[in-house]
Structure 1
Amino acid sequence: MMEPHRKPFAVFVTAVLLCCVSSDEEWEAVGAKKGDSVTLTTKDDGCDRGAQVVWMFGPQSPNTRIARVKDGEQRTNFSDHFKDRLQLDRQSGSLRISGLTFNDSGIYMCRSISSKIYTQRFNLSVYAPVCAPSIKINSSEVSTSCSSLLVECSVQNSRELRLSWFRGRDRLRETSGPDMSSRLILSLSVESSNGDEYSCVAENPVDQRSSRLLMEDTCLNHGEMLSWCHTEATVRLVLSAVLGLSLMGLVADHIRFSRQRRPRS
């Protein structure tokens, strides 16, 4: 039996030996889309054959066990949150999560324990699927010459979403915002005579959707917008003619009035 005064020394020696065991730790950022699946892949040299592998999870820190491989047997039913959504590779220790939800975002830790201790952490971020942005033409902002107009692109905002206008492959303008309950709106003045192709792109780190604006679809050269331009030009012409006739009438009245007041010789 170990003498009482030697017990603290034995504990100290055990702690030193554990510290001397090789221990590596790596971090990896992972992004995925809600509803999809993601595999948290361990490094090739991370898990020795026959090692015990434990997976932990937490929104801020990994404090809840969710999966384990021990003596060749795997178990994934520790947490009701991940019920029937975890698949564990008993050879590599990699973890697959299906049917992702926003609440799956957080820190995952894989710890392999054999002749050495290997720890790998994953910071998983789950994003909303991106909706296709909508484009509308602001007819009240059409230039007087009907050569340019203001187009407006909008999309429902979500986490880390960015909305951009492109001309070809060139990004012209972009916007983002912290308010997830609002819509992102981005306007752009478009020239009708350049024949370029414009597109509005909504994107986050894992998904992207776009809507194209072709100049032949803007109605600048036909349809309602052309009718509006012709109507405006006609109205301006009529107003100019009426104004000219009014001025001519005023001049004629002035001459006639002047003659009437001229004294007779």
Structure 2
Amino acid sequence: MQPQLSRKHLASYITAVLLCCTCADENKEAVKAKEGATVTLQTRDTIHNINTQIVWTFGPENPNMRIATVKKREARSDYVERFRDRLQLDSLTGALTITQLRVTDSGVYMWQSISSNILSQNLHLSVYSSVTPPFITVNTSLVNMSCSSVILQCSAENTREMTLAWYRGRDRVKNISSPDLSFRLSLPLEIESHDGDNYSCVAENPVDEKATTLHTEDTCLKTGESSSWCQSEVTVRLVISAVVGMTLIILVVDHIRIRR
């Protein structure tokens, strides 16, 4: 009876130590990676003792799911179906490599080294979607009446922690971001029609960046529909001005004739 109680007490002690180790390691190392890429979660130490056991656990917030182990230099990584054929475990260092990353792989990974001493380390992995190249359009409905400027509209699919920004050369002019991923990000910019600078719209998150460059000579103010619109508008204005001028002249002449 006594040996059984001792084993129970030992098991409780080990559990308490593991919990303390987990609680003590509140500062998680942050790792960021792109969807579809490969990442290696490095450990603090090399396995010197063949009897040392390495345990990797995972969870979106709490690492309570066993996903890989090393025991007597033999690695095993087939515990969870979602990671099947995507985990590679170094039996010497205990480092864990995850291939073909998915956004759902984001979460907390805990490494534990169990021997005469118990060590643990938490790593917080954030997997981001690739950003799509932003799309630039010239909003002809917003060309101002003097045809001296034009409104450029940049848009892109919104992803986690993404920022959409306009750059004039290397200088950021304006930007926008939103935590709501249900709609596209859109950012307007008014530029002068004779501006000689180059503009680019950049979509970026912590691990990826896509840019679309626009040369001002490529805008429709110089060629195309908007230019035709401006030319037509100028012509219409000249005609209206001429008609109004002629009308005023006729009215003045009639007024003078009546006065006489």
Q: TM over 0.5, yes or no? A: yes
Distance of 1:171 and 1:46 partners within structure 2? 46
**Shift of residue 15, structure 1, vs aligned partner:** 4.6
Contact 1:34–1:127 (Cα < 8 Å) also in 2? yes
Bigger CA drift: 145-154 or 89-98?
Answer: 145-154
Which deviates more from structure 2 when the two are superposed, residues 91-100 or residues 24-33? 24-33
Give deviations 1:151-198, integer Å, cap 9, x for gaps. 111111111111111111111111111211101111111123331111
Cα displacement (A) at 1:88: 0.5
**Which residue is 1:120 aligned to?**
121
Alignment of 1:21-60 (within 5 A): 25=25, 27-43=28-44, 45=45, 47-50=47-50, 51-60=52-61
Displacement of 1:39: 1.2
Residue aligning to 1:161: 162
Deviations 1:89-116 (A, max 9, x none): 1111111111222221111111012232
- Paired with 1:189 and 1:42, the residues of 2 have a C-alpha distance of 51
SS of 1:100's partner is coil
- Secondary structure, counterpart of 1:209 in structure 2: strand
Taking the TM superposition and a 5 Å limit, the aligned residue runs for 1:1-265 are 11=9, 15=13, 25=25, 27-43=28-44, 45=45, 47-50=47-50, 51-259=52-260
Tell me the number of residue pairs that the alignment of Structure 1 and Structure 2 aligns. 250
What is the TM-score with the length of structure 1 in the denominator? 0.86
Q: Which moved more, 1:117-126 or 1:57-66?
A: 117-126
Q: Which amino acid aligns with 1:135?
A: I
RMSD over aligned CA atoms reads: 2.5
1:122: how far off? 1.1
Q: Percent identity?
A: 50
Structure 2: runs of 5+ lacking an equivalent: none
Question: Aligned-pair distance for 1:251?
Answer: 1.2
Q: Normalized against structure 2, the TM-score is what?
A: 0.87
Aligned 8 A contact 1:68 1:76 in 2: yes
**Contact 2:46-2:92 at 8 Å conserved across structures:** no
Q: Distance in 1 between matches of 2:197 and 2:216?
A: 7
Between the aligned partners of 1:117 and 1:183, the Cα distance in structure 2 is: 48
Query: Does the 8 Å contact 1:49/1:91 carry over to 2?
Result: no
Q: Which residue of 2 aligns with 1:262?
A: none
Alpha-carbon offset, residue 222 of structure 1: 2.9
Task: Decide whether aligned partners of structure 1 residues 177 and 89 sit closer, same or farther in structure 2, where only a CA change above 3 A counts.
Answer: same
Give the residue type in structure 2 aligned to 1:215: T
**Counterpart AA for 2:48:** D
5+ residue gaps, structure 1? 260-265
Residue identity opposite 2:191 in structure 1: V
How much has 1:253 moved relative to structure 2?
Answer: 1.7
**Secondary structure in 2 matching 1:240:** helix
1:148 deviates by 1.4
| Contact 1:46-1:118 within 8 A present in 2 as well | no
Could you list the per-position Cα deviations for residues 31-74 of structure 1 after superposition, in whole angstroms to 9, with x for gaps in the alignment? 2222222111113x364342211000111101111100000111
Higher alpha-carbon Rg: 1
